Amino acid sequence: MAEERIIAYREALREAMNEEMRNDPNIFLMGEEVAEYNGAYKVSQGMLDEFGAKRVIDTPIAELGFAGIGVGAAMNGLRPIIEFMTFNFALLAIDQVVNSAAKMLEMSGGQISCPIVFRGPSGSAGQLGAQHSQMFENWYANIPGLKVISPSNPYDAKGLLKAAIRDNDPVVFMESEVMYGDKGNVPEGEYIIEIGKADIKRAGTDVTIVSFNKMMKVALGAAEELAKEGINAEVIDLRTIRPLDFPMIVESVKKTNRLVIVEESWPFGSISSEITFQVQKHAFDYLDAPIKRVTGKDVNLGYAPTLVEAYLPTIADTIKAVKSAMYVS
């Protein structure tokens, strides 16, 4: 059995990239400040020294340009990892992600695959203002041809990033700036986590709470508080947004008969909306209460700390939603 040790989220991502790059010379990392500066969040620290400037490549501030270079390289047999300093900046490159990477296999009649990973932080990270605080998992998950991953802890991050790098389809791998320092158990040995499989982080019987990325801290925190009041919540970490593990969620709801979804992004057209539809379609007769969701507010996120606090889902919000589903005041 592989020995476990405690490492940071950024270290888990770095290990995943290092291990895959050592095994396959066709893999390279490209992005702003990934090389000389060791990464904006120090995820790629030391990689330039090991792999050299031809495989760890600093770019200008030109997301559309270097994303396009990555897509072209992937179409010609290489396996790029494209780092965006934030997915807010990736909006400048979205044409390459959506209209080139996601569609190439289909438009070429299956002749040209595009094995590329687009990765970087998504979502709010404190007082960064409206243009730097957005969660885009639901945007990319709406696109056929893309796989979307959004892990909540170092163990999942490493196993899923290795799977993403090996995948022959384009993968959008979304992290969180505020989780890079989070620490967790990560085995010393080789492991891969299958894309498309959610994970039950806490077993329970009374209500199902579904979340992903840093909102898993809210979901698990709420479950701990609820347990003190005798409410046993099952907490599911989606891990992968597309493909989404609907069967696991449905089976959990059939057991608990109640569902609460916690999501950082805006409510309209959200991942929680799609989960709600699928559960009502496949488990409607098992529901003992309407599905509840806790999301970010339907506004652009302000800069003031009070506005950040008011915008984001909280443990208290989640407990209130659960109790509403349990008909507990």
Cβ contact 299:276 at 8 Å = no
Closest by CA position to 156, among listed 80, 93, 214, 225: 214
Q: C-alpha 72: how far from its chain's center?
A: 25
Instruction: Compute the distance between CA of residue 114 and CA of residue 71 in angstroms, rounded to an integer.
Output: 7
Tokens of 303: 């800069």
Strand ranges across the sheet with 292-294? 199-202, 233-237, 207-211, 259-262, 292-294
* DSSP one-letter string for 309-321: HHHS--HHHHHHH
Listed in order, strand segments (DSSP E) in 142-220 are 147-149, 171-175, 183-187, 199-202, 207-211
Known catalytic membership, residue 282: no
Closest by CA position to 29, among listed 17, 16, 37, 19: 17
Phi, psi values for residue 185, rounded to 5°: -75, 125
Which residue out of 11, 15, 32, 63 is catalytically annotated? 63
52: left (phi > 0), else alpha (psi -120 to 50), else beta? left
Which residue out of 83, 132, 137, 263 is catalytically annotated? 132
Closest by CA position to 192, among listed 43, 74, 20: 20
Phi, psi values for residue 32, rounded to 5°: -75, 120
Cβ contact 33:58 at 8 Å = yes
Closest by CA position to 161, among listed 119, 110, 127, 128: 119
Longest dimension (CA), the chain: 61
Catalytic residues: 63, 132
